[in-house]
Amino acid sequence: MRLALDEAERAVRGGDVPVGAVVLSPDGTTVLATGHNEREATGDPTAHAEVLAIRRAAARLGEWRLTGCTLVVTLEPCTMCAGALVQSRVDRVVYGARDEKAGAAGSLWDVIRDRRLNHRPEVVEGVLAPECAALLTEFFRDR
Ligand SMILES: [Zn+2]
């Protein structure tokens, strides 16, 4: 999560909301890829931290399935990212702050653990939540 927080801070430089993500290898020892919000920087509405991180991890592994991998992100995934995470077949999603307004991993929806889906990654929430939330609060206060 510390790495994801570092990544989140990079988003601010491009004028983006500070959200950062990291994909860990199945044995948890290797960082396969990182990503931070780049919507403003790239003008791409889908350039959320999680989507960028899983795309890079898949490119590095040479296949779309991220079976066994863990995605760590500073903010609860939105519906788009929750869907992308299910599609990527990651085994675990770890997030920091809850997103009561748009979260799709337990807050507003629970897309990731929807029993109607075949693949349901494990969800761990609240890791370093105060730090993750503080970054966001600080960012929006400065706007
Ligand atoms: Zn998202």
The whole-number pLDDT of residue 142 equals 84
| Beta-strand pair 122-125/92-97 | parallel
The whole-number pLDDT of residue 133 equals 97
Taking only the tens place, the pLDDT of each residue in 93-134 is 999 999 999 999 999 999 999 999 988 999 999 999 999 999
131 an active-site residue? no
Residues with CB under 5 A from ligand 1 (ion): 48, 78, 80-81
Distance from residue 27's CA to the centre of ligand 1 (Å): 25
Taking only the tens place, the pLDDT of each residue in 31-74 is 999 999 999 999 999 999 999 999 999 999 999 999 999 999 99
* Spatial distance between the Cα atoms of 66 and 59, rounded to a whole number of angstroms: 10
Q: Considering the candidates 7, 38, 50, 76, report the single residue annotated as catalytic.
A: 50
The whole-number pLDDT of residue 140 equals 94
The answer to whether the pTM exceeds 0.85 is yes
The whole-number pLDDT of residue 143 equals 82
Burial class (CB in 10 A: 0-12, 13-18, 19+), 101: exposed
The whole-number pLDDT of residue 8 equals 98
